[in-house]
Amino acid sequence: MPTNSFTDITVSASVTVVPEHIHSIDQDIDLYGGNLRQIERLKKTIGFDQRRIAPKEVTALDLCHQASERLLSNLNLSAEALDGIIFVTQTPDHSQPSNASLLHGLLGCQKSCAALDIGLGCSGFVYGLWLAFSLINNGSSDKILVLTGDTLSRMVNPQDKATASLFGDGGSATLVQKQAGAGVSWFQLGSDGTGAEALKVPAGGARIPISQATAKASTDTEGNIRTQEDLFMDGASVFNFSIEVVPEAIKALLKVADLPLESLDYLVLHQANTYMVQNIGKRLGIDPARLPIRSFGAFGNLSSASIPGALAYELADELTDKKTSKPQKLIFSGFGVGLSWGSCLLPLEPLKCLEWLEYKQ
């Protein structure tokens, strides 16, 4: 898709909710055959540390619902003011109806408020923002709530080293709204469906419904165990894809916006893992102080909620009136399942609210 730009639209607030329960990589010692040295290596190279795990009865909808209520209450805004709900998730409560419809009912939105899901993962926050900006830009909407959330910890097999220690659970709510005087925002999205096999849950959809056969575990050549209902990740392919596509996409975005890298206040990448974020940062030559990187070790990879999670975890003061009164230039860049990627460059006025909190039942 060609790069496109918007004016008079902005992101004004974001809240991320994570489960209370913290799981440490140290607890995964059996998965690594009791090899403490391997755990140390994973901590040091990939950045594994803690991840947030939702209890069985809590879904992405619950996490995002709580984030939404908190955001609306912080802004003293009624759910009736929303013109649209966009819910980005790969782990919806049901195959039908959508999480967005369910949240519409839970929040008590007006019947004129549109509600739809987007089936994307790690790139999804940027896609959700882009659709919200587009709907506001076409004149149909003033305020759109973008939800991003997944419970990927439950999609992985605990005996699959490629994925078991990687993902945390989380959900975020972000408000996009019309704002006279908001500067130019740039978006660029991309997909490569030929790479679809690299991240996949084979069974559970219409193609391969779940059955006794799909629940049967098998062991791959590296000794990892999973069923067809578990998330499969070809880590090497995903890594190669990310380092090939993401730095170039960010350079292209800066070029079209005619902005040097040095004038960027923050580059907020999908927090795939510390190694990946560091690596892409290094390839771009960005000052590490402008590259949020710590939330992966606190939350785990939160899929589409990782960018708002990183914003709230590391930049809550920097992007609100606690520390700044002037607009900040940020790039968000997400990449993952699809394969798909999306980047945007936003001039952000101080946000009205930016925080993360733990889920309360």
Q: Of 309, 354, 349, 346, nearest to 132 (Cα)? A: 346
Closest distance between other proteins and the C-beta of residue 300, in Å? Answer: 18
Asked if residues 29 and 164 have their Cβ atoms less than 8 Å apart, the reply is no
Distance CA 301, CA 134 (A): 28
Task: Tokens for 78, please give them.
Answer: 């009624």
**Residue found by looking up tokens 């607890």 in the block:** 27
| Amino acid letter, 119 | G
Closest distance between other proteins and the C-beta of residue 49, in Å? Answer: 16
When asked if residue 283 is in the footprint of other proteins (CB under 8 A), the reply is yes
According to CB under 8 A, which residues from 243 to 282 bind other proteins?
A: 243-244, 279, 282
Q: Which is nearer to other proteins, 220 or 321 (CB)?
A: 220
Q: Look up 122 and say whether it is catalytic.
A: yes
Distance CA 286, CA 280 (A): 9
Q: Which is nearer to other proteins, 283 or 352 (CB)?
A: 283
Distance CA 149, CA 91 (A): 8
When asked if residue 219 is in the footprint of other proteins (CB under 8 A), the reply is no
HSE at residue 268, side-chain half, CA atoms within 13 A, is 28
Closest distance between other proteins and the C-beta of residue 69, in Å? Answer: 41
Q: Which is nearer to other proteins, 136 or 162 (CB)?
A: 162
Q: Look up 138 and say whether it is catalytic.
A: no
When asked if residue 31 is in the footprint of other proteins (CB under 8 A), the reply is no
DSSP lists the bridge partners of residue 73 as none
Catalytic residue among 157, 273, 279, 301: 301
| Amino acid letter, 348 | L
Q: Which is nearer to other proteins, 251 or 329 (CB)?
A: 251
Task: Write the binding mask 222 to 241 for other proteins: x where contact by CB under 8 A, - elsewhere.
Answer: x-----------xxxx-xx-
Q: Of 9, 356, 6, 3, nearest to 181 (Cα)? A: 9
**Residue found by looking up tokens 């999609």 in the block:** 155
When asked if residue 221 is in the footprint of other proteins (CB under 8 A), the reply is no
Q: Which is nearer to other proteins, 149 or 338 (CB)?
A: 338
List of residues contacting other proteins (CB under 8 A): 37, 41-42, 45-46, 161-162, 222, 234-237, 239-240, 243-244, 279, 282-283
Q: Which residues are catalytic?
A: 122, 270, 301
